[in-house]
């Protein structure tokens, strides 16, 4: 049982480049989310999805796009990378279909992706 | 809005000492959930506990215990007889009905020295 798989684990980009962080889960979880972790800031929610075809913004969505075409996958796209997007990114999933019930379920996290933008 | 504050940025203890990690939260909701997650040096986040706002009973799990006090909006985490393997970053988190999204505190870095 793989859980939540994130790729790549490390990536270095130049300012203005684009890239996609991949996230896949094999637990049939409806809820998926992306967080970024910065020193002294904790984890901040970027985008989330409560099911295929449904996405919504979190606390810090600017500069990021997401889509959810399948239950399993939830990629995070950086269209034009900026140094401020240097961070560690975590994908997380849980069962549930929305609202407090979804958010209140225990999250299963991926191993993280460390992104550096020069 | 909701907010979680972990005022202790870093704590350093010697093995076998007891240590308490503080978590103070703000929410206007009457229904909410609180969490603690652990992030060991390997980097992955691991769930420790979840409490709902209607259950103020303290909980003990082995060397870990949690003290939930609605009167002071606190959800503190105590490790008894700390061990080197407890060294990690610990996050407190909150979700309430009105915001509907999980909010994490800044995290507390715990270092347990042998």
Tracing tokens 């020069």 back to the chain, one arrives at A118
Partner B contacted by A3 (CB < 8 A): no
Cβ atoms B108, B9 nearer than 8 A: yes
User: A103: helix, coil or strand?
Assistant: helix
Partner A contacted by B78 (CB < 8 A): no
Cβ–Cβ of B9/A40 closer than 8 Å? yes
Buried-state track A3-13, b at ≥16 Cβ within 10 A, e below 16: ebebeeeebeb
pLDDT band at A107 (very low <50, low <70, confident <90, very high): confident
pLDDT band at A110 (very low <50, low <70, confident <90, very high): very high
Give dist(CA B94, CA B62) in Å, integer: 24
User: B6: helix, coil or strand?
Assistant: coil
Partner B contacted by A111 (CB < 8 A): yes
Residues in chain A within 8 Å Cβ distance of B43: 88, 111-112
pLDDT value at residue A99: 53
- Average pLDDT, integer, range B37-48: 94
Q: How far is A15 from chain B (nearest CA, A)?
A: 26
Long-range pairs for A52-58 at CB < 8 Å and ≥24 separation? A58/A33, A58/A34, A58/B101
Partner A contacted by B103 (CB < 8 A): yes
Angle at A116 between CA B90 and CA A80, to 5 degrees: 120
Cβ atoms B35, B25 nearer than 8 A: no
pLDDT tens-digit map of A1-46: 679 999 999 999 999 999 999 999 999 998 899 999 998 888 999 9
pLDDT band at B58 (very low <50, low <70, confident <90, very high): confident
Q: Which of A16, A3, A13 is nearest to A87 (CA)?
A: A13
- What is the distance of C-alpha B47 from the center of its chain? 10
Residues in chain B within 8 Å Cβ distance of A108: 47
- Average pLDDT, integer, range B74-80: 96
pLDDT band at A102 (very low <50, low <70, confident <90, very high): low
pLDDT value at residue A103: 53
Mean pLDDT, rounded, of chain B: 92
Q: How far is A82 from chain B (nearest CA, A)?
A: 23
Q: Which of A116, A104, A107, A110 is nearest to A38 (CA)?
A: A116
Partner B contacted by A58 (CB < 8 A): yes
pLDDT value at residue B52: 87
Cβ atoms B12, B21 nearer than 8 A: no
Query: Which DSSP string corresponds to B25-78?
Result: EE-S-SSEEEEEEEE-TT---EEEEEEETT----EEETTEEEEEEGGGTEEEEE
pLDDT tens-digit map of A52-100: 999 999 889 999 999 999 999 999 999 999 999 999 999 999 886 545 5
pLDDT value at residue B27: 92
């Amino acid at each position: 049982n793989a859980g939540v798989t994130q790729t790549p684990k490390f990536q270095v980009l130049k300012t203005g480049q684009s890239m996609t962080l991949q996230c896949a889960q094999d637990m049939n979880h409806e809820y998926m989310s992306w967080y970024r972790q910065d020193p002294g800031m904790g984890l901040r929610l970027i985008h989330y999805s409560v099911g295929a075809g449904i996405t919504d913004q979190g606390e810090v969505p600017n500069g990021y796009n997401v889509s959810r075409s399948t239950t399993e996958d939830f990629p995070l796209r950086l269209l034009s990378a900026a140094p401020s997007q240097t961070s560690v990114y975590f994908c997380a999933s849980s069962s549930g279909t929305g609202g407090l019930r979804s958010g209140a379920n225990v999250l299963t996290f991926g191993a993280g992706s460390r992104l550096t933008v020069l | 809005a909701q907010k979680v504050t972990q005022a202790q940025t870093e704590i350093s203890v010697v093995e076998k000492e007891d240590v308490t990690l503080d978590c103070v939260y703000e929410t206007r909701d009457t229904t909410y959930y609180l969490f603690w997650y652990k992030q060991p040096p390997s980097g992955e986040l691991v769930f420790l506990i979840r409490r709902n706002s209607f259950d103020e009973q303290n909980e003990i799990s082995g060397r870990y215990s949690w003290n939930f006090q609605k009167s002071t909006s606190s959800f503190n985490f105590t490790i008894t007889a700390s061990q080197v393997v407890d060294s990690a970053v610990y996050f407190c988190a909150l979700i309430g009905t009105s915001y509907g999204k999980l909010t994490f505190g800044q995290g507390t870095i715990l270092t347990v020295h042998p």
